[in-house]
Amino acid sequence: MDPAEVLVEELASALGFDEGWELHRPRLANFLRLVWEWNQRFNLAGAQDMRSLAEVLLADAMVLARAGLVHRGERIIDVGSGAGSPALPLALIREDLQFLLVEARQKRVAFLRWSIATLGLTERVRVIQAHISPSRPRMPPCSYSPSLASSRATFEPATWLKVAASLAPAALAFVVPGTLLETNHLKARLTYRLPWSLAPREILRFEKP
């Protein structure tokens, strides 16, 4: 087993997912290697070693895949996709999902397009280069209406919820536990820690009434 696959297996085990990852492990490891290779040239992600990169890229997607926060068959718009996490690893794990990735920076768009093709995701994932303004958010051109909006570390959480409301009827927010947000439309909450860095995580799902 190569080092990337070992890291995927160790991460799944550390998150308590000891079974059922045999089919996902090679594809997730392939994504990890792609980001690692491109990161040497274009600084797609801040992690300086592959172990840290694996945690940043894969942990949220692994948790989301099993936590029930993303419903079966959902069509997801991911804003500020960066290096593709958590959208691309989630797409690799959950073949029932469709994604529209929105990224403003050209080099990252090039990486996302290369990764989508390399990972065999072209039928369910597409990427567009666009900037969604928090002051005047508009849905970019898309062949379907998203059911869920997601964004990680692109907007301040309260701002993101306002942006997301113009994009889809439901939204995921990635926050530090204890972040003060309006919770009238909160439908689900998951709090956990990244297993190696022990950084606290909270993922919230909001739905319009």
Label residue 128 by pLDDT band (50, 70, 90): very high
Cβ(54)–Cβ(89) under 8 Å?
Answer: no
* pLDDT for 60: 96
Phi, psi of 196, deg, nearest 5: -100, -45
List, for residues 163-209, the tens digit of each pLDDT value.
999 999 999 999 999 888 887 899 999 999 999 999 999 999 999 88
Q: Burial letters for 39-49: b for 16+ Cβ neighbours within 10 Å, e otherwise? A: beeeebbebee
- Min mean pLDDT across 3-12, 22-31, 71-80, 131-140 is at 131-140
More confident residue, 68 or 40: 68
pTM: 0.94
Q: Burial letters for 122-144: b for 16+ Cβ neighbours within 10 Å, e otherwise? A: eeebbbbbeebeeeebeeeeeee
Average pLDDT taken over every residue of the chain: 91
| Cβ within 8 Å of residue 20, ≥6 positions away | none
Listed by start position, the domains of the chain span 59-207
**Residue 42 pLDDT > 80:** no
Residue type, 51: R
> What's the sign of the alpha-carbon dihedral 163, 166, 168, 170?
positive
CATH 3.40.50.150 fits domain 59-207 = yes
* pLDDT for 194: 94
Closest by Cα among 172, 152, 163 to 85: 152
* pLDDT for 155: 92
